[in-house]
């Protein structure tokens, strides 16, 4: 069974601060995805990283996939109240596990004005 440890579980910061969310595993993943979920809705995909060492930027969000494809991070620069939400990382296995995602526990981010 593949496991993903996501940290921190809760993050409360002031507007303008930077933050990083981590996602770690002892397993190798063929790809890793980051989702954001609003209350009462399903998760929405933010980004998929597939290559070890890959870095993707989405406005103020920077996503990195570890060289060994076992870990990932999400960095938000100058957080805004609109960034508030639940952030989930999810790893996709290989072989017969394609399409089956293993999710981290999630990080609840609150950005105060």
Partner 1 sequence: DAGITQSPRHKVTETGTPVTLRCHQTENHRYMYWYRQDPGHGLRLIHYSYGVKDTDKGEVSDGYSVSRSKTEDFLLTLESATSSQTSVYFCAISWTGRGNTIYFGEGSWLTVV
Residues that bind partner 1 (CB under 8 A): 1, 4, 6, 9, 30-31, 33, 40-45, 48, 50, 88, 90, 92, 98-106
Of 1 and 113, the one with the shorter C-beta distance to partner 1 is 1
State in angstroms the smallest separation of the CB of 89 from partner 1: 9
- Which of left, alpha, beta for 57 (phi over 0: left; psi -120 to 50: alpha)? beta
CB of 38 to partner 1, least distance (A): 10
Q: How far is the CB of 91 from partner 1 (least distance, A)?
A: 11
Whichever of 13 and 86 has its CB closer to partner 1, that residue is 86
CA atoms within 13 A of residue 5's CA, in its CB half-sphere: 5
Q: Is 71 exposed, middle or buried (0-12, 13-18, 19+ CB in 10 A)?
A: buried
What gap in Å lies between CA 6 and CA 26, rounded to an integer? 12
Of residues 33 and 64, the one with the C-beta less far from partner 1: 33
């Amino acid at each position: 069974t593949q496991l993903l440890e996501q940290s921190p579980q809760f993050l409360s910061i002031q507007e303008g601060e930077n933050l990083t969310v981590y996602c770690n595993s002892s397993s190798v993943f063929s790809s890793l995805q980051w989702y954001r979920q609003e209350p009462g809705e399903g998760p929405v995909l933010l980004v998929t990283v597939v290559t070890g060492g890959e870095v993707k930027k989405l406005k103020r969000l920077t996503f990195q996939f570890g060289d060994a494809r076992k870990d990932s991070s999400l960095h938000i620069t100058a957080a805004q109240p609109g960034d508030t939400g639940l952030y989930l990382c999810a790893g996709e296995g290989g072989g017969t596990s394609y399409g089956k995602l293993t999710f981290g526990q999630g990080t609840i981010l609150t950005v105060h004005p």
